[in-house]
């Protein structure tokens, strides 16, 4: 419901960022339907290899971000959001590309279900993308900054192998539980040389399209 509803904000002539994840999948499918059935004409930028593949399968024209001089909007999911529409993203591992495209967009629309709404961020582990070189030293510095023991800073693994991002990096998932000041922690983590970026999206999202038991709810910042 949320994914399809978000596609209504897309009009012909727009430049659109396409997020990553299970909810945005339905936005992409709906845009593909509108391109074929309604003649919708849009230029899109994917946030991940998976989104690129799905977009091509659905006849969506893709472009390099730098060729478009900014985007009108991006539609993406979130792993958590709070009352200020601060987000944790990166459960799918595409957080850096997602943030680059979100910052290039005039409007960020988040599609989510009610389970993603929280009082304070942190129950969902915070993803931090780190370069492979001396990643254990980066983990040690993250432990110093956060006060988390290294046992709660877990390198992401898929099928017994290290998860590798589309950028060729590792992801560390920080099990913080409650984060009092996301912006401060974002700045501290991003100051470390081994950190490419973290999964906080603060003061970026403009609107959440929330699907719940009572239907669609629109939350705006």
Other beta carbons within 10 Å of 48: 22
Q: Check whether 21 has a pLDDT greater than 90.
A: no
Task: Answer for the pair 33, 39: CB distance below 8 angstroms, yes or no.
Answer: no
Q: Check whether 221 has a pLDDT greater than 90.
A: no
pLDDT, residue 178, reads: 96
Phi, psi of 41 (to 5 degrees): -120, 110
| Each residue's pLDDT tens digit, 45-73 | 999 999 999 999 999 999 999 999 999 99
- 80 shares a domain with 130: no
Q: Given 52, 80, 98, 186, which residue is catalytic? A: 98
Question: What domain range includes position 64?
Answer: 2-117+202-212
- 208 shares a domain with 191: no
The answer to whether 186 is a known catalytic residue is: no
For 28, the 3-state DSSP assignment is helix
The CATH number of the domain holding residue 105 is: 3.40.50.1360
- 130 shares a domain with 178: yes
pLDDT, residue 67, reads: 97
Mean pLDDT throughout 152-165? 97
CA–CA separation, 218 vs 194, rounded Å?
Answer: 38
Identify the CA nearest to 166 among candidates 57, 69, 93.
93
Total domains in the chain come to 2
- 168 shares a domain with 92: no
- 186 shares a domain with 145: yes
Q: Check whether 142 has a pLDDT greater than 90.
A: yes
Q: Check whether 212 has a pLDDT greater than 90.
A: no
């Amino acid at each position: 419901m949320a994914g399809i509803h978000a596609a209504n904000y897309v009009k012909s002539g727009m430049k659109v960022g396409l997020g990553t994840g299970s909810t945005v999948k339905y936005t992409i499918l709906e845009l593909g339907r509108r391109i074929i059935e309604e003649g919708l004409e849009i230029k899109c930028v994917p946030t991940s290899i998976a989104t690129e593949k799905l977009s091509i399968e659905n006849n969506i024209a893709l472009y390099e971000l730098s060729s478009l001089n900014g985007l009108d909007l991006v539609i993406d999911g979130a792993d958590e959001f709070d009352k200020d529409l601060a987000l944790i993203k990166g459960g799918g591992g595409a957080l850096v590309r997602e943030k680059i495209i979100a910052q290039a967009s005039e409007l960020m629309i988040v599609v989510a279900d009610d389970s993603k709404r929280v009082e304070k961020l942190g129950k969902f582990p915070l993803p931090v993308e780190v370069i492979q070189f001396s990643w254990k030293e980066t983990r040690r510095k993250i432990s110093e900054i956060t006060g988390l023991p290294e046992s709660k800073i877990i390198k992401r693994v898929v099928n017994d192998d290290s998860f590798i991002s589309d950028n060729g990096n590792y992801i560390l998932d920080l099990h913080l539980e409650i984060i009092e000041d996301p912006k401060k922690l974002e700045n501290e983590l991003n100051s470390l040389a081994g950190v490419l970026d973290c999964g906080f999206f603060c003061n970026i999202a403009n609107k959440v399209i929330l699907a719940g038991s009572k239907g669609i709810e629109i939350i705006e910042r």
